[in-house]
Amino acid sequence: MNLTEMGFESGNKYGLPDEAQVKLCLKWLYDKSGRTTINTDYTSYNWKHSVEDWAGTYISNGAFIKACIDYGVPIKRIIGSPSVHVAISSHARNPNYVNKKLDRHLGCPNWPNCAMEGCGEY
């Protein structure tokens, strides 16, 4: 299985996820992740729509999945589907949701490489 712009697919019918879309997803994920268990209420395809609403542009399913992998958000493949389930709180579907533990790091010049706790930079 390959990770393509459409998600996990066999073969090479689709291209790789767009890096600009992945970067937007990473920005969206910054204050949304934090759940340690997989949330089976929504798929990556559902989550990508949340990013689209926030960013105001198209985001592919594969770009969202790649961003989760790059960011370290746990994922679980859905058998027979190009989508995955991810460890993101259902509360993140609310456009006003902010993970309060990370709130003080929004805008940190060292993000995403800051140490978060005791960053000292923001």
- Read off the pLDDT of each residue in 99-115 and give the average, rounded to a whole number: 54
pLDDT tens-digit series, residues 41-96: 999 999 999 999 989 999 999 999 999 999 999 999 999 999 999 999 888 888 76
Distance (Å, rounded) from C-alpha 19 to C-alpha 68? 13
User: Residue 116 falls within a domain, yes or no?
Assistant: no
User: Residue 44 falls within a domain, yes or no?
Assistant: yes
User: Residue 66 falls within a domain, yes or no?
Assistant: yes
pLDDT for the residue numbered 99? 59
User: Residue 60 falls within a domain, yes or no?
Assistant: yes
Query: pLDDT grade, residue 113 (50/70/90)?
Result: low
pTM for this model (two decimals)? 0.79
| Number of folded domains that form the chain | 1
Return the higher-pLDDT residue of 101 and 11.
11
User: Residue 7 falls within a domain, yes or no?
Assistant: yes
User: Residue 53 falls within a domain, yes or no?
Assistant: yes
Mean pLDDT of the residues in the chain? 84
Residue 41 burial (C-beta neighbours within 10 Å; 0-12, 13-18, 19+):
exposed
User: Residue 113 falls within a domain, yes or no?
Assistant: no
Distance (Å, rounded) from C-alpha 82 to C-alpha 76? 11
- Read off the pLDDT of each residue in 2-23 and give the average, rounded to a whole number: 93
- The residue range of the domain holding 84 is 2-97
> What CATH number corresponds to the domain at position 28?
1.10.10
Residue 39, pLDDT > 50, answer yes
User: Residue 105 falls within a domain, yes or no?
Assistant: no
